[in-house]
Structures are given as C-alpha cells and as structure tokens.
Amino acid sequence: MHRVEFVPSAARAFRTLGRAVQRRLAKRIDALAHEPRPPGVEKLRGTRSRYRVRTGDYRIIYEVEDDLLVVLVVRIGHRREVYRSH
C-alpha cells in the first residue's frame, strides 16, 4: 500500500472546497493509496510519472513514486482550472 502525501498548494486547494466535494475527493484519494493506477486514470502527456483521475467535475493530479511507495497529490481543482499554470 502506498502512502498519500500532499504538496502544500494541493492541501490548501482541498481545504477551500465544500464539504461534500471534500468527502468525494477524500474517498478517491484514499483509494489511490491501495491502487495508484486504477482503471480510468490517465497519464499526463509530457510528464514521467504524473497522472490524472476524474471525480465529477474535479480533477486530482498526482505523481506515483513506486520506489518510496508514495502517491504525491500535486493539484486538486475544478476541471476548468486544474490544468492552468500558476
């Protein structure tokens, strides 16, 4: 089983979401600890180990570090905004 970690900006973004959305995303993130590459996940082009998983209108962008058994959540946000650069 992998350990789930958040970069600080992803943790902040998660906290700003409504409770219902947080619950849905938390359930999906917990599932990533057991299966980091579930069916329906998409590897992001131009990256070595970054993936995207859809949860309703929200996206979770994460990296998998298999050697450390870590799933690192990099970005969380609405599908309209999550792919934009800061």
Residues 6 or more apart whose Cβ sits within 8 Å of residue 19: none
Average pLDDT over residues 67-76: 94
Q: Which two tokens mark 18?
A: 């409504």
Residues 6+ apart with CB under 8 A from 46: none
Residue 68 clears pLDDT 60, i.e. is over it: yes
pLDDT tens-digit series, residues 28-60 = 999 999 999 999 899 998 888 899 999 999 999
Instruction: Please give the backbone phi and psi of residue 16, each rounded to the nearest 5 degrees, phi first.
Output: -80, -10
- Per the DSSP assignment, residues forming a β-bridge with 58 are 55, 78
Averaged pLDDT for residues 14-27 = 95
Question: pTM of the full predicted structure?
Answer: 0.89
Across the range 9-34, mean pLDDT stands at 95
- For the chain, domain boundaries: 3-78
Architecture of domain 3-78: 2-Layer Sandwich (3.30)
